Amino acid sequence: MNNAFFSDLLASISERGRTLLRRAGSSNGKQDASDLIELCEALLSGRGEASGTAMAREVLDRYRHLDDKGRLSFFEALVRNYGPDREKLAQAIETWRAQPSDDDASELHFASEPRRQELIRRLNRAPGGTSELVAMRADLLLLMNGHKELAALDRDVVHLLASWFNRGFLVLRRIDWSTPANILEKIIRYEAVHEIRDWDDLRRRIDPVDRRCYAFFHPALVDEPLIFVEVALTESIPAAIEAQAIPVLKWTVPKMKLGAFHDLAADILDRAQKNNWKMAVAIVDTGGYLVYFERMQDTQTGSVDLAIEKARTAALFRRPTKLFQDSVAAGGEGLRLVARFFLLAFTVGLVEHGVDQRPQIALSLAQGRQVQQRDC
Tell if the pTM clears 0.85, that is, is over it. no
How far is it, in rounded angstroms, from Cα 341 to Cα 324? 10
How far is it, in rounded angstroms, from Cα 320 to Cα 335? 14
More confident residue, 327 or 221: 221
More confident residue, 300 or 28: 300
Q: What is the pLDDT of residues 177-199, one digit of tens each?
A: 999 999 999 999 999 888 999 99
Q: What is the pLDDT of residues 27-79, one digit of tens each?
A: 444 567 888 999 999 999 876 667 889 999 999 999 999 999 999 999 999 99
What distances in angstroms separate CA 102 from CA 98, 99, 106, one per listed residue? 13, 10, 6
Backbone angles phi and psi of 299, in degrees to 5? -70, 135
Q: Is the pLDDT of residue 131 over 80?
A: yes
Q: What is the pLDDT of residue 7?
A: 53
How far is it, in rounded angstroms, from Cα 173 to Cα 317? 33
More confident residue, 138 or 342: 138
Q: What is the pLDDT of residues 314-366, one digit of tens each?
A: 877 777 767 766 766 666 554 544 444 433 333 333 333 333 333 444 444 43
Q: What is the pLDDT of residues 320-333, one digit of tens each?
A: 767 766 766 666 55
More confident residue, 290 or 346: 290
The 3-state DSSP class for residue 313 equals helix
Q: Which of 40-44, 96-100, 154-158, 297-301 has the lowest mean pLDDT?
A: 297-301
User: Other CB atoms closer than 10 Å to residue 165's CB: what's the count?
Assistant: 17
Q: Is the pLDDT of residue 139 over 90?
A: yes
The 3-state DSSP class for residue 212 equals strand
* Average pLDDT value over all residues in the chain: 78
Name beta bridge partners: 294: 281
**Ordered domains of the chain (ranges, CATH):** 3-164 (1.20.140.90), 169-233 (3.40.630.180), 258-375 (3.30.450.150)
User: Other CB atoms closer than 10 Å to residue 131's CB: what's the count?
Assistant: 14
Long-range pairs for 37-43: beta carbons < 8 A, 24 or more residues apart: 37/74, 37/77, 37/81, 40/78, 40/82, 40/119, 43/119, 43/122, 43/123
Long-range pairs for 313-316: beta carbons < 8 A, 24 or more residues apart: 313/339, 313/340, 313/341, 313/342, 313/349, 313/362, 314/349, 314/350, 314/351, 314/360, 314/361, 314/362, 315/284, 315/285, 315/286, 315/287, 315/288, 315/355, 315/359, 315/360, 316/288
Q: What is the pLDDT of residue 268?
A: 84
Name beta bridge partners: 350: 361
Residues of the chain with pLDDT > 90: what percent?
44
- The amino acid at 12: S
Q: What is the pLDDT of residue 243?
A: 61
Q: Is the pLDDT of residue 371 over 70?
A: no
